[in-house]
Amino acid sequence: LIYPREYLAEEHVKKFYLDIRKVAKKYLHTRLPPKSRIYLWDYSDGDITKVRDNYFEFKGNVKAVLYILSSDDDPLYFEFKRILQDVPCQMTTKDLVLRKYDLPSDKMHLYFNSVLNLVCGLLGKMGVRPWLLSEELKGDLYVGVDTRPGKVATFTLIDNVGDYIGEARRPVRGSKVERDIMRDTIIQLIMENLRIIPRDRPIHLIVHRDGDVYPDEEQGLEEAISSLRQRKLEVSLTLVSIRESTPYRIFKCDDSNLAPCPPGVFVKLSRHMGLLASAGWPLIKQGLARPLLLEVIRNDRPDYDLQDIVREIYYLSFLHWEGIVKKLKMPITIKYADEYAVFAEKEIDIIGPPL
């Protein structure tokens, strides 16, 4: 545990870790090491030289790091990420540690809810899966694609129970993923994960693209399928564009008033396009949620229709492991790709999902 000593005493941090252990055991049935096996390293005034020296000296003994910052926008966030990129690490702030001492007893659940979120994120990076889907999805592999225009394209790979498998990053010149980059990255993701794909039938690959799908990207996917076929791997493709910013709203009329719809409502616009309210009432108390606009660009599987596609995107929006007390709008295919882009843009590698 790394902490700023100008804000926290060592005793604060020790008690905080005991709460983390208690929550991990109670809700995730995971036993974290006793506090006697925890390194406590402090820093002050933004000087993390001692922390860096300690980490590289004892690196072989460190299995994960939780570092505490002064605030959410502390500039040390990325500096720690760069130093600790070889080990699972999770960030929190002094405010969470001290919150326990400010809340009345009848509000203490708010503190422990936040600790549970933190624990899910930390353990998720360490390889624990706080939850997965109870039934397999229809596809075999799900790839999320996102771009930071002119900077980086990020790819995430999810299996058919919602488990995070891995990621890749590639530089881009504009908003689109170049044909050769799309081809080579998809081939790499599949070839590096042959152990989780079926070998007795064609692989069903579902690609979720954040925003517009460009012709070069579709061509790159086609070339990837052709190349994999030469390696005796048959692939059927479903390619879906998911747009978060749309002019549409879905609502219900209640006594002449407009009210937000519940999450999971779907409106079919055509055979290949629809709207999904992945968030709604009671999660949204005021205003009307912007639905996702989903468009099927290509679908090689007649047994995998628009309703299947929408249902699975909705299911995948429940699998962000640091969001146990909140509901995300985007599926994790794209949400993780978007969060990974924050680090990929700065050429920082990470261990585990970007929680």
Q: What is the DSSP string of 223-285?
A: HHHHHHHHTT--EEEEEEEEES--S---EEEETTEEEEPPTTEEEE-SSSEEEEE-S-TTT--
- Is a pLDDT exceeding 90 seen at residue 120? yes
Rounded to the nearest 10 degrees, the angle between the axes of helix 108-125 and helix 94-102 is 150
Helix (H, G, I), strand (E, B) or coil at 296: strand
The model's confidence at residue 325, banded by pLDDT at 50, 70 and 90, is low
Query: What is the pLDDT, as a whole number, of residue 318?
Result: 92
pLDDT at residue 328 in the model: 82
Residue (of 308, 342, 330) closest to 136 by Cα position: 308
Cβ 238 vs Cβ 268: under 8 Å: no
User: Confidence band (pLDDT; 50, 70, 90) for 255?
Assistant: confident
pLDDT, tens digit, 9 for 90 and up, residues 261-276: 788 889 999 999 999 9
List the one residue out of 138, 131, 142 whose CA is nearest residue 332.
Answer: 142
pLDDT at 263: 84
Rg (C-alpha) for the chain, rounded Å, is: 22
CB of 97 closer than 8 Å to CB of 69? no
**Percent of the residues in the chain that have a pLDDT greater than 90, as a whole number:** 84
Torsion of CA 244, 224, 195, 317, to 10 degrees: 10
pLDDT at 262: 80
Neighbours of 40 (CB within 10 A): 12
The whole-number pLDDT of residue 31 equals 95
Report the mean per-residue pLDDT for the chain.
Answer: 93
pLDDT of residue 287: 66
Number of other CB atoms surrounding residue 234 within 10 Å? 10
What pLDDT sits at residue 10?
96
Q: Decide if 280 contacts 263 (C-beta within 8 A).
A: yes
Region 157-170: mean pLDDT is: 96
Question: What's phi and psi for 192, nearest 5 deg?
Answer: -80, -5
pLDDT band at residue 290 under the 50/70/90 scheme: confident
Residue 249 pLDDT level (bands cut at 50, 70, 90): confident
* pLDDT, tens digit, 9 for 90 and up, residues 210-226: 999 999 999 999 999 99
**What is the mean predicted confidence (pLDDT) over 147-173?**
95
First to last CA, the chain: 18
Residue-wise pLDDT tens digits, 40-85? 999 999 999 999 999 999 999 999 999 999 999 999 999 999 999 9
pLDDT of residue 143: 98
In the structure, how many helices (H) and strands (E) does the chain have?
9, 14
For residue 96, the 8-state DSSP code is: H
List pLDDT tens digits, range 7-18: 999 999 999 999
What is residue 284's predicted lDDT score, i.e. its pLDDT? 67
